[in-house]
């Protein structure tokens, strides 16, 4: 596996876990960490046995406490723009990633932390998870997609309140407003692994196309979204996996998918 300083990559097939590892700075994202997460995602794709990714934070206290504030005073506006670009590229990479990506939010997920979690396919939270977009406290606005993705997930009025006040959203409220899918008491990573294990039993192409249809469809008017669904349906229907899946059902046995 590649050399990483700011993340720990662990492969436990069918899941891979990317742990942001800067606990002393509450796993705040600096440019190097953003690059390493991106590299780890590339490396995982080379491993055929991996069927899903979990992103989480090292230590007990934080998922990601945002962008690294200590780097900001020295940043020129050009460097700031570059940093935003790299952060936004990473969020797009996660959204477009061919495998499911679960955010296991194990503590503070502020600013860039909430934004990175929002780019994942869904979020499981520990009871001590804290979300928020506190950028206005720093005199800035969210820069890794928060104004766009939070709005799509929790609706414009709720997103507006969260972003304009910068207040903290605890796990129970995150669950209530649909930001987190579950609060996991106990083994958060174990629960995320179980979900990846479950998904890994399904047709790999079907999972990939379904993610693609949901993600791209969110941005489209209904007619265009249905057209996208139709074309992906046609593609997956042409696969060997579809033949096997239907045959296995009729023969009352488990399917043996090949991802073809
Ligand atoms: N960056 C750097 N260090 C951080 C940090 C952060 N975001 N958050 C915490 N730390 C460090 C603290 O400075 C402290 O370091 P030491 O003093 O021990 O050296 C250590 O982590 C422990 O933090 P605290 O002592 O503060 O711990 P508490 O339990 O008292 O408080 C807290 C935990 C999470 C509530 C608090 O640390 C906090 O409010 N942290 C800041 C949260 C925040 O505002 N995050 C940033 C959101 S803004 C950009 C594009 C995008 C963005 C920015 C720029 N460009 C265009 C340039 C995105 C911005 C954001 O994410």
State the DSSP string of 177-200: TTS-SEE-SS-HHHHHHHHHHHHH
Residue 30: its pLDDT value, please? 94
* 150 and 32 inside one domain: yes
> 3: which residues sit within 8 A by CB, 6+ positions away?
none
Ligand 1 geometric centre to CA of 109 (Å):
10
What pLDDT was estimated at residue 4? 97
Stated as kind and residue range, the H or E segment containing 132 is: strand 130-132
Alpha helices in 17-155 (DSSP H): 31-45, 77-96, 112-119, 146-154
The residue-averaged pLDDT of 19-25 equals 97
Domain that residue 71 falls in? 7-199
Q: Are both 83 and 100 inside the same structural domain? A: yes
Residue 20 has pLDDT above 90, yes or no: yes
Measured CA to CA in angstroms, residue 256 lies from 15, 30, 182, 195, 260 at distances of: 19, 43, 30, 19, 11
Whether 238 and 193 map to the same domain: the answer is no
For atom 29 of ligand 1, which residue has the closest CA? 61
Based on the fold, state whether residues 244 and 187 are members of the same structural domain: no
Q: Which residues pair with 62 in a beta bridge?
A: 108
pLDDT of 230 over the 90 cut: yes
Same domain as 140, residue 58: yes
Tens of pLDDT, residue by residue over 126-145, are: 999 999 999 999 999 999 99
Calculate mean pLDDT across residues 19-42: 97
CATH number, domain of 49, equals 3.90.226.10
How many angstroms does the Cα of residue 98 sit away from the middle of ligand 1? 31
Query: Do 157 and 244 share a structural domain?
Result: no
Question: For the residues 17-42, what does the mean pLDDT come to?
Answer: 97
- Same domain? For 16 and 108 the reply is yes
Is the same domain home to 140 and 36?
Answer: yes
For residue 258, is it within any domain?
Answer: no
User: Is 95 tagged catalytic?
Assistant: no
Residue 187 counted as domain residue: yes
- Report yes or no: 163 and 146 within 8 Å, Cβ to Cβ: yes
Q: Is residue 217 part of a domain?
A: yes
Contact 154, 175 (CB under 8 A): no
Enter the pTM of the model: 0.96
- State yes or no: is 135 an active-site residue: yes
In a domain, 256, yes or no: no
CB 228 within 8 A of CB 220: yes
pLDDT of residue 243: 92
pLDDT at 117: 98
Classify residue 159: in a domain, yes or no.
yes
The total domain count for the chain is: 2
Confidence of residue 249 (pLDDT cuts 50, 70, 90): very high
Do 166 and 232 share a domain, yes or no? no
What is the β-pairing status of strands 122-125 and 182-183? Answer: parallel
Residues above pLDDT 90, as percent of the chain: 95
Q: Is the pLDDT of residue 115 over 90?
A: yes
Residues in the ligand 1 pocket, defined by CB under 6 Å: 25-26, 28, 65-70, 75, 80, 83-84, 87, 108, 110-112, 134-135, 138, 140, 143-144
pLDDT exceeds cutoff 90 at 103: yes
| Whole-number pLDDT of residue 34 | 97
Residue tagged active-site, from 96, 115, 185, 244:
115
Phi, psi of 6 (to 5 degrees): -110, -5
Closest ligand 1 atom to 66 CA = 61
Helix (H, G, I), strand (E, B) or coil at 203: coil
pLDDT band at 2 (very low <50, low <70, confident <90, very high): confident
Question: What average pLDDT does the segment 202-223 reach?
Answer: 96
Which residues pair with residue 56 across a beta bridge? 19
If asked whether residues 211 and 193 sit together in one domain, one would say no
Is 180 among the domain residues? Answer: yes
Query: What pLDDT score was predicted for residue 160?
Result: 98
Are 63 and 88 found together in one domain? yes
Instruction: Give φ, ψ of 2 to 5 degrees.
Output: -65, 165
In a domain, 260, yes or no: no
Please state, rounded to an integer, the average pLDDT across all residues of the chain: 96
Q: What is the pLDDT of residue 1?
A: 78
Specify whether 221 is located in the same domain as 97.
no
Q: According to the model, what pLDDT value does residue 247 have?
A: 92
Question: Tell me, what's the pLDDT at 72?
Answer: 86
* Coil vs helix vs strand at 248: helix
Per-residue model confidence (pLDDT) at position 71: 87
As a whole-number percent, the residues of the chain with pLDDT over 70 amount to 100
* Arithmetic mean of pLDDT, 115-135: 98
Q: What is the CATH number of the domain that holds 238?
A: 1.10.12.10
């Amino acid at each position: 596996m590649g050399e990483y300083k700011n993340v720990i990559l662990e492969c436990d097939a069918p899941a891979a876990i990317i742990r942001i590892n800067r606990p002393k700075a509450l796993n705040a994202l600096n440019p190097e960490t953003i690059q390493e997460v991106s590299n780890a995602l590339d490396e995982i794709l080379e491993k055929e046995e991996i069927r899903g990714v979990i992103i989480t934070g090292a230590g007990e206290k934080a998922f990601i406490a945002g962008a690294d504030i200590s780097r900001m005073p020295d940043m020129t506006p050009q460097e700031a723009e570059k940093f935003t670009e790299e952060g936004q590229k990473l969020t797009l990479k996660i959204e477009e990633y061919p495998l499911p990506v679960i955010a296991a939010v194990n503590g503070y997920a502020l600013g860039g932390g909430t934004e990175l979690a929002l780019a994942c396919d869904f979020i499981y939270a520990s009871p001590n998870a804290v979300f928020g977009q506190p950028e206005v406290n720093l005199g800035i606005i969210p820069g890794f997609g928060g104004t766009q993705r939070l709005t799509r997930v929790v609706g414009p009025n709720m997103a507006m309140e969260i972003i304009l006040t910068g207040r903290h959203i605890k796990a129970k409220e995150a669950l209530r407003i649909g930001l987190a899918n579950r609060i996991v008491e106990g083994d958060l990573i174990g629960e995320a692994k179980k979900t990846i294990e479950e998904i890994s039993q399904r047709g790999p192409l079907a999972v990939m196309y379904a993610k693609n249809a949901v993600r791209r469809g969110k941005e489209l008017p209904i007619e265009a979204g249905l057209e996208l669904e139709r074309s992906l349906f046609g593609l997956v229907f042409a696969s060997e996996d579809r033949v096997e899946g239907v045959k296995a059902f009729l023969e009352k046995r488990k399917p043996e998918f090949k991802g073809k």
